[in-house]
Amino acid sequence: MEERSQWGTNIGFLFAAIGSAVGLGNIWRFPYVAYENGGGAFLIPYVVALFTAGIPILMLEFALGHHKVASAPKAFHQIDSKWEWLGWWAVTFVLFGISLYYIVIIGWCVNYMLFSLNLAWGDDPNAFFFTKFLKVPFDEALQAPANGQVWAMSGLRWTIAGAVALVWLTNWAIVYGGVQRGIERAAKVMMPLLFVITLAIIVWALFLPGAGKGVRHYVTPDFSKITDLKVWIGAYGQIFFSLSLGFGIMIAYSSYLSRDANIFRNSLIVGFSNSIYEVCAGFGVFSILGYMATQQDQEISDVVSSGIGLAFVAYPKAISLLPFGELFGFLFFLLLIIAGISSSISIIEAFTSAILDKFTLPRKKVITAICVLGFVGSLLFATNVGLLWLDIVDHFLNQYGLITVGIVEAFVVGWLYRTDKLKAHIVSNLGLSGTRHKIFDYVVLQLWMYCLRFVTPVALGIAIVHSLIQEFASPYEGYPVSGVIVLGVGWLLITHIFAFGLSGLPWRGETSR
Ligand code: TRP
């Protein structure tokens, strides 16, 4: 039996946890989600979501992993073996779902980092991205991918597949080195680098002519949106994805902390760093859009494209206009690659940790097997219809997978396990005494318990019911029903069955259950 891994230092843990949280979700997802949901006004639901679900669930995951010294499946098994599947399901659909296409997007960034060097996208980055690079079925009239053609798979995109191989290899090399000598060491290089590049890009962007116009657009609140339920759901969804909640990652990461770690402080540091990072990244992104709008005499709303287009269509356009755009583009895509890899390694570790907790297997072989399987799985999204598949799978795993895990976590820990046991664990490590101890115990952490037991499940419950209603009203984004059912619902079901299967197997040392 191998000894359980440990972080070298608390700072190393913080770097790794922030590395997991800060990813593609912060740099290009957050800005357009904020923009679509009322700009500056989005910050209100966003902050509410951070305090009512983000930080409470993060603290729950950290406390659970640390208290039980266990990965997600083992931690839930210890609460009640009936709920072990939840831990398996989280790490399974994230690894064999989200990370498969997440790594493909990092692969696109690798290509685009190189394209930046000679502005390979020419003067029509939109057509370049969809028809030359992805070769996705294209609707000429809409100038957008033809969502109806989700089954028109015609082959692998080799440049993408090659980059994906490279990204999986890098992930493998980092995690293979172990928690301390692989992940922690890599995080200590990647995080400062990420910080420096981000700062350089933001400052560069803020000084461009027209930046103010973009920033104004970003921060000017559209309060009419705030009564729209969709905006609130967008905020909860963003917080979950961005903080890696419901992934099983934070549970595994905190299980490697030393016994005297301060869970409360760590939760606040990770939670706030992640949010501050994305709010700041938004300034950079919008300055660029403001610059582009000014240069082309357009309105911001004409240059902002939703979702994926933001990084791979709008940005290349801006890069072509910028003085030294080649360097800017190179740095921007490098930033996405670093942010992406420091996130993707975390799920490989979380899954490995779950396997090693349950079965007697050699760590390194498990990691190699995971990366080979993951690479093969990623290839599904490196075909010409990869973008369409990714869009559907992403929608379903985010809206239903992550949110369900969050609700069940809050329910299991809040009601079945009794949050006060975790609370006592957090309090015991705070190192406070006297009145301050009492304030934390009876006020701050009491509020946390209330949140988890009542507010979080209700808020997430409303989100999921609302999403379900929309699902039945019309198929997601005009995709064929077969695509939505097979790829979306199918992915949720198959990973679920797999998780049930794993949770039924005997624990090491047990002959049968
Ligand atoms: N929190 C990350 C982000 O904002 C997402 C993420 C973390 C992730 N770990 C991951 C995605 C592992 C896929 C696989 O981008």
Instruction: Find out whether the beta carbon of 24 lies less than 6 Å from any atom of ligand 1.
Output: yes
Q: What is the pLDDT of residue 39?
A: 85
Q: Please state, in angstroms and rounded to a whole number, the distance separating the CA atoms of residues 229 and 124.
A: 36
Residue ranges of alpha helices (H) inside 96-255 are 99-118, 125-127, 158-176, 185-206, 211-219, 229-242, 249-255
Among 169-178, 397-406, 423-432, the minimum mean pLDDT is found in: 423-432
Instruction: Find out whether the beta carbon of 398 lies less than 6 Å from any atom of ligand 1.
Output: no
Q: How far is the CA of 340 from the centre of ligand 1 (A)?
A: 7
Q: Please state, in angstroms and rounded to a whole number, the distance separating the CA atoms of residues 414 and 396.
A: 26
Q: Which of 96, 102, 183, 250 to mutate to test the pocket of ligand 1 (most atoms within 8 A of CB)?
A: 102
Residue 508 placed within a domain: no
Q: What is the pLDDT of residue 81?
A: 93
Q: Where are the beta strands (DSSP E) in 27-122?
A: none
Q: Please state, in angstroms and rounded to a whole number, the distance separating the CA atoms of residues 297 and 293.
A: 6
Q: How far is the CA of 370 from the centre of ligand 1 (A)?
A: 17
Instruction: Find out whether the beta carbon of 314 lies less than 6 Å from any atom of ligand 1.
Output: no
CA distances from 488 to 97, 323, 348, 393 (A): 10, 43, 22, 5
Q: What is the pLDDT of residue 513?
A: 44
Among 96-100, 130-134, 401-405, 415-419, the minimum mean pLDDT is found in: 415-419
Which atom of ligand 1 lies closest to the CA of 95?
A: 14
Which atom of ligand 1 lies closest to the CA of 347?
A: 12
Helix (H, G, I), strand (E, B) or coil at 223: helix
Which atom of ligand 1 lies closest to the CA of 242?
A: 4
Residue 422 placed within a domain: yes
Residue 449 placed within a domain: yes
Question: Tens digit of pLDDT for each residue in 297-310?
Answer: 988 888 877 677 78
Contact predicate 113/315, CB 8 Å: no
Query: 391 is written with which tokens?
Result: 């869009």
Give the count of beta carbons closer than 10 Å to the beta carbon of residue 224: 9
Q: What is the CATH number of the domain that holds 475?
A: 1.20.1740
Give the count of beta carbons closer than 10 Å to the beta carbon of residue 199: 12
- Give the residue with greater pLDDT, 108 vs 309: 108
Q: Which of 18, 247, 253, 273 to mutate to test the pocket of ligand 1 (most atoms within 8 A of CB)?
A: 247
Instruction: Find out whether the beta carbon of 25 lies less than 6 Å from any atom of ligand 1.
Output: yes
Q: Whose CA is nearest to atom 13 of ligand 1?
A: 99
Instruction: Find out whether the beta carbon of 354 lies less than 6 Å from any atom of ligand 1.
Output: no
Question: Tens digit of pLDDT for each residue in 312-334?
Answer: 998 899 999 999 999 999 999 99
Residue span of the structural domain in which 226 resides:
10-503
Residue 512 placed within a domain: no
Res. 1: pLDDT tops 60: no
Residue 4 placed within a domain: no
The model's confidence at residue 2, banded by pLDDT at 50, 70 and 90, is low
User: Based on the structure, what is the number of domains in the chain?
Assistant: 1
Q: How far is the CA of 98 from the centre of ligand 1 (A)?
A: 8
Res. 511: pLDDT tops 70: no
